[in-house]
A and B are shown apart, each in its own frame.
Chain A
Amino acid sequence: MNRKNHFNRREFLKRGSALIAAGWLPLSLVEVAFGKTQAESFTFAYISDSHLTHIKGNNFVRNWDRGLTRAIAEANLLTPRPDFILYGGDIAQLGTPEEIDHGLDLLGALRGDVHYVMGEHDYYLDLGEHWRKRIGPDHYSFDHKGVHFVVLNSILTHDDWIHKKWDSPMHRMKEMARLDNPQGSPFLVGDPQREWLRKDLEKISKDTPLVVVSHSPLQKIYKGWNFWTDDAEQIQAMLKPFDKVTVLYGHVHQIQYNQIDNISFHSVMATAWPWPYPSTFAQEASYMPKLTVEINRADPFFERDGTGWQFINMHTGDVDVHDALPDNRNRVVAFDEKKGHPVDARYQAEANRIPPMKHF
């Protein structure tokens, strides 16, 4: 692994966010990213997939706690402050009140307002009851400086699976928590929420930049691990009339990005652990977007390698995503207006890639 070029934490913190915008991005990308629309530019932070795991008493798995704590500490050092923080789902590993409360305790240290997304690990124990009690609705929208944000709960599934004869709610939770479970069930936004979305978008003019946030990808990548939402195409069709749409999602614990028609897709990293790319499972085919330049294979001996959080720069409707990767070189993926899709600032060209990016 290419350690000598690592962008270390101290260097990262020294730079501060003003320099992040200028210093991390090739200037051409900054310039072209500013469009004709009147919306203001702003930044937000994105933290996701902490999977805090309760052992017993007040004992939690240290590794996952450290990932979230570190992301919070680093996000708190961004200056000027991001306008808000998005938390992308899976605070908990098994959805218990202990885990969700512990996560909210830690996240309470974040400086700024947090908008939360529901993850499947927060949901399948009590069908989201404790999460909603502590946090609020699992789908909602808000407007910020001319951009319309929509948060969806994309990790629902078919009722007959949810209401199977489980031994206990924890049995159901553990079945859904296992990523490679052949007895799992595909994620869905579902009819009621899609109808809600249709009504929500009715009021929005088509030239308003749209950011849609979900836990699972609203595109189909690999069904076997639920890198997938079953009604993704229906959602994409509803977003199609808008000029600029960005979909942000967690769940996959790795860098992915894509462009489907007018929609830019970006995944965000987990603070807990990285997942292999689906192509590394030799027995099944998957549909990783060709555009995506994969993150380096994680070094298991550095427990934060392959984990991280994001600083997102909203240029009047297009985003560039800055992945802060503690034991890895930071990455910037920014919308390139000429190419019409997101581009990795350093590694997009085949010849610029480095050996640990080859997954097998």
Chain B
Amino acid sequence: MTITSTYKGIFIAALLLPAQSLLADEFTGADLKRWKQQYMEVVDEGSKLFHGGLGNENTVSCDQCHPNASNTHPETYPKFQQQLGKVAVLSEMINWCIKNPLKADPLPLDSARMTALQAYITEERRNVPLAPGKH
């Protein structure tokens, strides 16, 4: 797209505005606290789902094989999942586990429950460097 000289002028003028009017995303300690709390609520919900809260009939739960979500290594996704024959993201592997050992229907990838499971799994793996593709 070409930008006309008029628009260019407005754009440059905008850059020259006083600094405080650019700080649209300023936030406070109270905001940080609230966001952390919102996040931890979802992590806690994920922990409940992970520890038997999915309601699957055979009662097998994620933590039976993955205490503290260990051996899920979310930092390695996306990676080539050799058994699926393609590059997969973590949520696809979560659904594989839900379908197979847990014998339940997979979760929609954008569902609140899938988000919560990923939040819990990733929180338990915090501070581990990203290593996409790692085996």
- B59 and A61 within 8 A (CB): yes
* A195 CB, min distance to chain B CBs, angstroms: 33
Total A-B Cβ pairs within 8 A = 68
Once the chains bind, are B58 and A53 in contact (CB under 8 Å)? yes
Do A281 and B70 touch (CB < 8 A)?
yes
Known A63-B101, A303-B101; contact A224-B68, beta-carbon cutoff 8 A:
yes
Residue of A nearest to B51 (CB): A178
Interface residues of A in 103-150 (CB under 8 A from B): none
Q: Give residues of chain A (236-278) contacting chain B, Cβ–Cβ below 8 Å.
A: 273-276, 278
* CB of A340, distance to nearest CB on chain B (Å): 32
> CA–CA, A274 to B67, complex, Å?
11
B83 interfacial contact with A, CB 8 Å: yes
B71 at the interface (CB under 8 A from A): yes
Contacting pair A55 B71 (CB below 8 A): no
A229 to B71 CA separation, bound complex (whole angstroms):
24
Is the pair A275, B83 in contact by a Cβ cutoff of 8 Å?
no
Q: How far is the CB of B70 from chain A (nearest CB, A)?
A: 4
Q: Is B126 an interface residue (CB 8 A)?
A: yes
Q: Does A274 contact B65, Cβ atoms closer than 8 Å?
A: yes
Binds B, one of A21-29, A160-168, A294-302, A323-331: A294-302
> A281 contacts which chain B residues (CB < 8 A)?
67-68, 70, 124
A276→B70 contact, CB < 8 A:
yes
Q: Contacts A180-B68, A276-B71, A282-B128: A360 and B134 contacting too (C-beta < 8 A)? A: yes
The answer for the CA separation of A174 and B70 in the assembled complex, in Å, is 20
Task: Kindly state the interface size class of chain B when it binds its partner.
Answer: 20 to 34
Contact with B along A57-80 (1 / 0, CB 8 A): 000010100000000000000000
Question: A5 near B: Cβ within 8 Å?
Answer: no
Q: In the complex, are the beta carbons of B71 and A359 less than 8 A apart?
A: yes
CB distance from B15 to the nearest CB of A (A): 44
Which single member of A180, A224, A278 contacts B63 (CB below 8 Å)?
A180
B125 touching A273, Cβ below 8 Å:
no
What is the bound-complex CA distance between A303 and B67, given in angstroms? 18
Contact A299 B83 (CB under 8 A): yes
A347 within 8 A of B: no
Please pick, from B51, B52, B60, B100, the residue contacting A61 in the complex, using a CB distance under 8 A.
B60
Q: A180: which B residues are within 8 A, CB to CB? A: 63, 67-68
Q: Once the chains are docked, how many angstroms separate the CA of A281 from the CA of B60?
A: 21
B70 near A178 (CB under 8 angstroms)?
no
Q: A179-B63, A360-B134 are in contact. Are A283 and B57 (CB under 8 A)?
A: no
Q: Is the CB of B59 within 8 A of A55?
A: yes
Inside 8 A of B73's CB, which chain A residues have their CB? Answer: 280, 360
The verdict on A355 contacting chain B, using a C-beta distance below 8 Å, is yes
Smallest CB separation, A165 vs chain B (Å): 21
A225: Cβ under 8 A from any B Cβ: yes
In the complex, A233 Cα to B45 Cα: how many Å? 39
Min C-beta distance of A274 to chain B, whole Å = 7
Distance (whole angstroms) from the CB of A6 to the closest CB of chain B:
16
Q: Given A283-B124, A303-B101, check contact A225 B67 (CB 8 Å).
A: yes
Residue ID in chain A nearest B64 by CB atoms: A273
Residues of B within 8 A of A303 (CB): 100-101
Task: Please tell me if the beta carbons of A61 and B70 are within 8 angstroms of each other in the complex.
Answer: no
| Chain A CB within 8 A of B127 CB | yes
- Chain A's closest residue to B67 (CB) is A180
Q: Do A179 and B67 have beta carbons less than 8 Å apart?
A: yes
Complex contact B67–A53 (CB within 8 A) = no
Which B residues from 69 to 109 make CB contacts under 8 A with A? Answer: 70-71, 73, 76, 83, 96-97, 100-101
Q: Does B66 contact A (CB under 8 A)?
A: yes
Chain A residues 190-235 with CB under 8 Å of chain B are: 224-225
Report how far A276 CA is from B69 CA in the complex, Å.
10
Question: Are B135 and A282 touching (Cβ within 8 A)?
Answer: no
- State A278–B51 Cα separation when bound (angstroms): 18
Interface residues of A in 335-360 (CB under 8 A from B): 355, 359-360
Cβ-defined contact, B101 with A280, below 8 A: no
Measured between beta carbons, the chain A residues less than 8 angstroms from B57 are: 55
Give the residue name and chain of the B residue nearest to A306 (CB).
B65
- Subset of 13 A-B contacts with CB under 8 Å: A53-B59, A55-B57, A55-B58, A61-B59, A63-B60, A178-B63, A179-B67, A280-B70, A282-B125, A300-B65, A303-B100, A359-B71, A360-B73
Residues of A within 8 A of B (CB): 51, 53, 55, 61, 63, 174, 178-180, 224-225, 273-276, 278, 280-283, 297, 299-301, 303, 355, 359-360
Nearest first, the 6 A-B pairs at minimum CB distance are: A276-B71, A180-B67, A280-B70, A301-B83, A276-B70, A179-B67
